[in-house]
Amino acid sequence: MIDIVYLYLMNLGVALLFMICVWPFSVIKKDASIVDVFWGLGFVIIAWNTFFHTDGYLPRKILVVLLTTIWGLRLALYIYKRNTGKGEDKRYQAFRAKVGEKYWIWSLFSVFGLQAVLLWIISLSVQAAQTSPQPNSLVWTDMVGAVIWTIGFFFEAEGDRQLSKFKAAPENRGKVMNKGLWAYTRHPNYFGESLIWWGVFLIAISRLENAWVIVSPALITFLLLKVSGVSLTEKSIMETRPEYRDYQARTNAFLPWPQKGKDESNAESS
């Protein structure tokens, strides 16, 4: 069995190497936002690398690697389809304008290197869940974790699908997406992604010694709430669509809950 510390360090190296290999294409295309497409794929690579280098309980390993692969491939395909033909994301354009001519090399460390480190930390639960042959059966934490992952995947995938369909209809231009899952939370996709990682964490703690990898779901939840998810998205929307305030006042930002009163307005969310 591979040494646990060596495994984690190896996967950090894999994540860094993967993002370093993607970086030159962003320089050629002058589009650092392609990193978002490869974000999910990085988790898939780490999951499978762990799978082939560990002697953990095989059914649990298969469960974790399949869940991670399904999530990562769907997310990569969705972002690729969403971003194709639209140029560099505004967030990266702002970074490019601020940094100037040195952005091409700056992005290697502050975009691609940072993303590699973050995905490695978040994937610690995927790695830890595959390391131990004990318990040598699927226990209640595996089952509950898989159920929570499934609920999260539904919220993320269905939320993305509903929003894409809404945006594709010309009559919805400039309106608020407040139907379906979006009637219960302003960010069902972000809520779903957070739930996915709490589900994987529960699978990982089938061996209680892995409780320290709570850093994995805690970090992604923090990022989604305070950094790159809800906070950043809503700041952008509020700058251009003041009518969003009504939807914001009536609908929970993250946890699903029935709306407060009726909404007659329409605008657009993330």
In the prediction, which pLDDT does 269 show?
42
Confidence of residue 265 (pLDDT cuts 50, 70, 90): very low
In this structure, which long-range contacts are made by residues 109-112, counting pairs with CB atoms below 8 Å and at least 24 apart in sequence? 111/26, 111/32, 111/35, 112/19, 112/20, 112/22, 112/23, 112/26, 112/32, 112/35
Find out whether 268 and 237 touch, Cβ atoms under 8 Å: yes
Confidence of residue 262 (pLDDT cuts 50, 70, 90): low
- Mean of the pLDDT values across residues 187-213? 97
pLDDT at position 268 over 60 = no
- Mean of the pLDDT values across residues 6-17? 97
Higher pLDDT pick, 176 / 145: 145
Give dist(CA 51, CA 53) in Å, integer.
6
In the prediction, which pLDDT does 154 show?
98
* pLDDT single digits (tens) 42-53: 999 999 999 999
* pLDDT single digits (tens) 32-85: 999 999 999 999 999 999 999 999 999 999 999 999 999 999 999 999 999 998
First to last CA, the chain: 44
Confidence of residue 233 (pLDDT cuts 50, 70, 90): confident
Rg of the chain taking only CA atoms, in angstroms: 20
Find out whether 150 and 221 touch, Cβ atoms under 8 Å: no
The pair of three-digit structure tokens given for residue 45, joined into one six-digit string? 């690579």
* pLDDT single digits (tens) 151-185: 999 999 999 999 999 999 998 887 888 899 999 99
Question: What is this structure's pTM?
Answer: 0.92
Give dist(CA 77, CA 122) in Å, integer.
20
In the prediction, which pLDDT does 264 show?
42
In the prediction, which pLDDT does 267 show?
41
pLDDT at position 1 over 70 = no
Give dist(CA 200, CA 197) in Å, integer.
5
The pair of three-digit structure tokens given for residue 50, joined into one six-digit string? 């762990």
Find out whether 126 and 200 touch, Cβ atoms under 8 Å: yes
Q: Residues of 61-96 as b/e, b for ≥16 C-beta within 10 angstroms? A: bebbbebbbebbeebbebbeeebeeeebbeebeebb
- Mean of the pLDDT values across residues 122-133? 96
In the prediction, which pLDDT does 126 show?
98
Please tell me the least confidently modeled range out of 43-47, 53-57, 104-108, 224-228.
Answer: 224-228
The mean pLDDT of the chain is 92
pLDDT at position 239 over 70 = no
- Mean of the pLDDT values across residues 256-262? 84
Q: Provide the percentage of residues in the chain whose pLDDT is more than 90.
A: 80
Give dist(CA 252, CA 185) in Å, integer.
5
Closest CA to 149 of 118, 187, 193, 181: 193
Give dist(CA 141, CA 131) in Å, integer.
16
Q: How far is CA 219 from the centre of its chain?
A: 11
Give the Cβ contact number of residue 239 at 10 Å.
9
Q: Residues of 21-55 as b/e, b for ≥16 C-beta within 10 angstroms? A: ebbeebeeeebbbbbbbbbbbbbbbbbebbbebbe
Residue the block writes with tokens 């194709």: 84
